[in-house]
A and B are shown apart, each in its own frame.
Chain A
Amino acid sequence: MNLAFTAEDEAFRQEVRGFIAANLPPALARREAMGFHNDRATVTSWQTALHRRGWTAPGWPVEFGGTGWSPVQRYIFDRECGLANVPEICLIALSMVGPVLCRFGSPELRERFLEPILRGDYWFCQGFSEPEAGSDLASLRTRAVRDGGDWIINGQKIWTTDAHMADYMVCLARTDPEVKPQAGLSMIIVPMDAAGVTVRAIETLDGDHHVNEVFLDNVRVPAGNLIGEPNSGWTQAKFLLEHERTHNAYAGMLCRYVARIPALIEVGRANGLPETQATEYRRRHARLAIDVEALEWSVLRVLAGQPGPALGAAASALAVRGAQCLLRAADLEMAILGPQVAPAFRPEDGVPLPAFAPPAAAGRTTQYLYWWAATIFGGSDEVQRTIIWNTLYR
């Protein structure tokens, strides 16, 4: 066992820091620090810089454009990005669809999609959930029926993040209704501008727009858009959801919170926060920092670990713990800022914050509310607990 970072790891950390400092637009970092959802336009220049450096897709196999980093290097990269307010860019294309295509896609599909995804030319959304199929994903009803050289798709997707700005959807659809639910699903790439695709925005509690309903009405796509073999969609979907199994720990984001909260407490002190109260917040911060440090090491253990049931359970544990820590961190920031977080604020509103709210107040409630969603998406806390029981103790 050697649990320390090596000199090479430290050199890599400096390299990443230098790259971020040279390439991340300050306006983007500011917006990201507030915690508002980004759109394509705001992240383009950053994605281009990453692409030039060959760092867009650390999780892909090297032959398709991955970085070939060790697990520790990947972790260092994510942590530095978190600390420096680097936004996530098209997570679904880069962290989900890309790896699925690398693993299961035909040479034609790889040829068509991988390079444009790396460049940032193609954004994807993930069309899995449906109104009646959430935690019970396998019960989904969207149907794809073969018609000559095409698939014809009918159904409805919901909670589709970024559907309003995506070029394509990976759609999980039922291609064989006769077999048991998991066995009759396929993953099909659907162009969002195809006839019969309608997107309707859903406004969420955080006041942001990320999720949508997507209606699929006799949408016709070429047969070659089906990834891999027909009816192997469940295996692919599981691969997709488990590929970035440490993502839902949000370790980089949590390091960001831990790093910036002490200064926020001092801002509070200058704005009427009594010392006794500040002391309590410093205590809460320390307690959070301890849990986040442990979470970071959990992430490293999962990244470096041997695949197996224990690893699955550990990944589920850190998804649940990650969401808990995010809520604690965001709640602490709101508490420190106190009454200053009460005004509703959106960067697009064009109005400044009310006179009395410091810039640090912008987005604090938006982010807090969003972290409640982190207890739901990517497999809810209950689903994760069931995985832990089933993999370790059943």
Chain B
Amino acid sequence: MDFTLNSEQTMLRDSARRYLAQAGGASWQGYAELGWLGIAAPEDAGGLGGGMADLAILAEELGRALAPEPFVDGAVLATRLVDRLVVGHRREALLGEMIAGTRRLTAALYEPGRRYELAPQTTAVRDGGGYRLSGTKVLVMDGAAADDLLVTAALDGGVALFLVGREQAGVDGRAYRTVDRRDCADFRLDVTVEADRLLSGDALDAVEDALDEARLCLCADMLGGMDSAIEMTAEYLKTRTQFGQKLASFQALQHSVADLFIDADSVRSSLLRAIPAFGGERAARRKAVSACWVNTFETAKRVTGMAVHLHGAIGFTTEYRVGHYLRRAIVSERLFGDVEFHLARYMAG
């Protein structure tokens, strides 16, 4: 076992941290130029063929920087789905455009009143030479900016995945923002697509597998956020004076910060434990990912909320950075299953 990063990974982490500190992380094109959009894509399609460890390293930095771009949704989830389910020349063409940042894809999986159920109520029916898709999809991150949606629909008793142009007639989107001000949309679909838009008639395992990669990235993103919130808090307490002394001189506050570290450090271990599971069998991987999710998101609100608390009122303002980690925790926690969902999945596994 070796817990040290190799030289490429160190470079990835350091350059990401530098770039995000300077540029703020709100440029998809910037991500493309840095090669980040190709990490999850295989080398035979022009990607970097990176592993889970590389993705997690970058995701942690993006979380630390509160980057608003949908890296996990586009560059991980959608990219892994296309890699797994699109075949032939089309796969390379699509991935090429995604890696270059010229085409944005996002997955439209969840439906109203169905929480995290992946078996869709959206239906696909053969219609002339193509398919007619009908249904509603919600909480589609990056939905307003994406060029195409990867839509799950029930077809012949299986779960099919379709590639649907967002601007196509019959794709009725409503954009909004999440509590942490990320872009999102719901879609009502009543659209006919050509036959070749069906990517797979049996996509459920591929969707779960890609979701697990996205889930672990989201955990890493949150870990970066927690780490940063703790560091900011320690720094703030060293500069703020009340009662004629630095707040950091009060042992009660030192111990509160130490408690946050204890929680976040446990999350880091869950993450590192889950990464090698991606080289193994599916059941063990699912269990490890769910374990990491539960530990991460049962911890995240407390750690980031306490970071706000320890700042006092300044931490409660939007002008100040630390509270934005708490907002992000509230949203990320429920994007790909929540704590109870993953606890149940862990227990079932």
Contact = CB atoms under 8 A, between A and B. Distances in A.
Given A270-B113, A380-B312, A327 B136 contact: no
Contacts of B177: 343-344
B175 to A, nearest CB: 9
Nearest to B112: A356
Contact of B316 (A205, A271, A276, A382): A205
A260 B285 CA distance: 39
A341 B186 contact: no
Contacts of A382: 250, 252-253
Given A129-B313, A271-B115, A205 B308 contact: yes
B316 A373 contact: yes
Interface stretch (A8-16, A131-139, A144-152): A131-139
Interface in A94-139: 129, 132-136, 139
Contact of B313 (A132, A277, A377): A377
A207 B181 CA distance: 11
A339 interface: yes
A354 B174 contact: yes
Interface string B272-306: 00000000000000000000000000000100010
B3 interface: no
B71 interface: no
Contacts, number: 139
A135 B244 CA distance: 12
Interface string A355-394: 1100000000100110011011100111001000000000
A319 to B, nearest CB: 14
Given A334-B330, A339-B110, A382-B252, A139 B242 contact: yes
Contacts of B331: 342
Interface string B306-349: 00110011011111000110110011001100111100100000
B226 interface: no
A381 B309 contact: yes
A205 B113 contact: no
Given A205-B317, A342-B179, A135 B340 contact: no
A211 B244 CA distance: 26
B261 interface: no
Nearest to A380: B312
Interface string A246-274: 00000000000000000000000011111
Nearest to B318: A203
B248 interface: no
Interface centre among B114, B115, B252, B341 (most CB of A within 10 A): B115
B144 to A, nearest CB: 12
Interface residues of B, number: 51
A280 interface: yes
A356 B186 contact: yes
Nearest to B253: A382
Nearest to A358: B113
A36 interface: no
A159 B313 contact: yes
B176 interface: yes
B174 A277 contact: no
A355 B139 contact: no
B43 interface: no
B344 to A, nearest CB: 6
Nearest to A355: B186
Contact of B242 (A135, A351, A368): A135
A167 interface: no
Interface string A197-216: 00000111101000100000
A369 B252 contact: no
A204 B138 CA distance: 28
Nearest to A327: B305
Interface in A331-349: 331, 334-335, 338-339, 341-344
B9 interface: no
A376 to B, nearest CB: 6
A369 B326 contact: yes
Nearest to A386: B252
A91 B188 CA distance: 45
Given A129-B313, A204-B316, A376-B309, A277 B344 contact: yes
B184 interface: yes
Closest 8 CB pairs of A and B: A356-B112, A136-B242, A272-B115, A205-B323, A271-B113, A356-B138, A272-B114, A277-B340
Interface of A: 129, 132-136, 139, 158-159, 202-205, 207, 211, 270-274, 276-277, 280-281, 327, 331, 334-335, 338-339, 341-344, 351, 354-356, 365, 368-369, 372-373, 375-377, 380-382, 385
13 contacts: A135-B312, A159-B313, A204-B318, A205-B308, A205-B318, A205-B327, A271-B112, A276-B344, A339-B139, A341-B179, A341-B334, A351-B176, A356-B136
Given A335-B339, A341-B330, A376-B316, 15 more contacts: A134-B242, A158-B313, A203-B317, A204-B316, A205-B308, A205-B318, A271-B113, A335-B340, A342-B179, A343-B179, A355-B112, A355-B186, A356-B112, A356-B139, A381-B309
